Structure 1
Amino acid sequence: MNDQSQILEAAPAAPSAWERMKDSNLWHSFSRDRVAQLSFAIFVAYAVLALFAPLLAPFDPYDVASIDIMDSEIAPSWAEEGDERFWLGTDAQGRDLWSTILYGTRVSLTIGLCAVALQAVLGICIGLCAGYFGGRIDSLLMRVADVQLSFSTMMVAIVVLAVFQAAFGTELYQQLAMFMLILVIGIAEWPQYARTIRASVLAEKKKEYVDAARVIGLRSPRIMFRHILPNTLSPILVISTVQVANAIISEASLSFLGLGMPVSEPSLGSLISSGFEYIFSGSWWITVIPGVILVGLVLVMNLLGDWLRDVLNPKLYKG
């Protein structure tokens, strides 16, 4: 017993998760890439501002009682005709633009993240089944994906949302706007995940660990989700980063067309849309400032996606 205890004491402790993280190529690349660090810092700032919008916003854009129509179209505080109460000015309804942007960023990020989560769940399940089982199941699921890819996301979203709004009325649509946007954007983009997962599964299922799992009697669902799926997550991370940016742009585009979030629950897209008609009358800040915020958010997401793609692809990673 004494010899065993001495051996155990002399054995080096297993590295912690943080130590393993610091020794990984991901951390090594991140610590040297200033663009990735800046992009991640900006994205975290977006997320923190959106998460704590009720605490950081000086006004509540959802509280009709606190909105004064006489404060509409006030220029930012740094302009000559500005008001110190509204440092980014106000919109056409008299809402503080800074507060409205904080809440709008929260809505846009929520729609983007939830839509991508739905895309990932659908795409991963379909891609796993297609790649693992093969044969007719693979052919059927991939033909469905081909049909889905033949229609653009915007076209599918416009048709579905317009039909829903016409069939059930504008009032019900406004109540379910966020849910409908998440559902439509999520369902329209799942083939991106399905095709990527299928290609990875076709390579993974031929490896020895999958044969060993079959030999010991593990069922197909456990082999797919517990053994194959963890080895195919690298491309999923890259796709998800880019798809969040695409989902936010899709939501903004639909809101600009009047098929997104209602004016009473502003997103970045609906803010841009509501201020577009005033841009040539001198109230440029209503559209330009939310537009800059939206472009910045999408840009940092794409930069993070490009960095992840380079790091997680061994053919592109240079150390």
Structure 2
Amino acid sequence: MSLSSDVQRGNHSATNVFILLGFPGRQQLKTSLFVLFFIMYILALLGNLSIMVVVRSQPQLHTPMYFFLCNLSFLEIWYITTCVPKALAVLLGGDPTISFMNCLLQMYFVFSLGCTEYFLLAAMAYDRCLAICFPLHYNSIMNRTLLTQLAFGSWFCGFLFIAIPTYMISTLSFCGPNVINHFFCDIAPWIVLSCTDTTLLELVAFIIAFIVILGSCTITLVSYIYIISTILRIPSAIDQQRAFSTCFSHLTVVIIWYGSTIFLHVKPSIKDSLDYTKTVHVLNTIVTPLLNPYIYSLRNKEVKKAFKRTLQFKKSCA
């Protein structure tokens, strides 16, 4: 058997361990970042867990909107946990190495959960559209079957789409530098490290990002066009404000999420601006999961009342 065929069959055998660069700089800066990210991580976990507990414990919140919100909170817990703990360990001077398989799995889960969030946000926009534009038919349309299909479809499609580039990355050869210029295993730094042609992978990654982002964005945009047009036809200003308040939190989350991820994924070359995309990923993977539960709880009167009832119940049981 020839040497070339051995190399092709070996694929990534030349490099089985990678080094996460994280945030280079003085240890004082790294310590400050560690404290900041650790606090944000804990707050994100507590916030999203609280949303799930409150919705589950309060029967009046057992509605489609809060069902999707629980799915989103559950997703955010896993989304931030897939990449932040390892980044915290590296910042604190821990082992920066990560095996090829663990790196591949981390990348797969981070991006699968990210895709799932796009679909969940689109499903939540569709739910709000039905509730505001077709209130008399809402309960019959958004029944348990459709609710389950939308939630399951969001998770299934999110994990299915990313399986394609994950498989393609698993077939790449890495025979040179093994330092990943990121705080987690992103696709872009991996492509830079590969010593084989990644043109097809870049194209596939771009197409998938374009389909996922554009598709979910179109559903969300069309839903809000219907929502806004319906609200504007309501004669009472108070009723208009009440109707818009039911989707304000969701709209805020959508703007934050799409604002950061459109830059990260919809671009001609995946190799450009690695340092800048790493900074934006902080907003995407840490800040957004932190803000989501607080946006929904602070802007939603039902959630705030449910929080108070839950706390009062726990005090009475103590």
- Whether TM exceeds 0.5 here: the answer is no
From the two aligned structures, give the one with the greater helix fraction.
Answer: 2
Please tell me whether Structure 1 or Structure 2 has the larger radius of gyration of its CA atoms: 1
Length-normalised TM-score, structure 2: 0.30
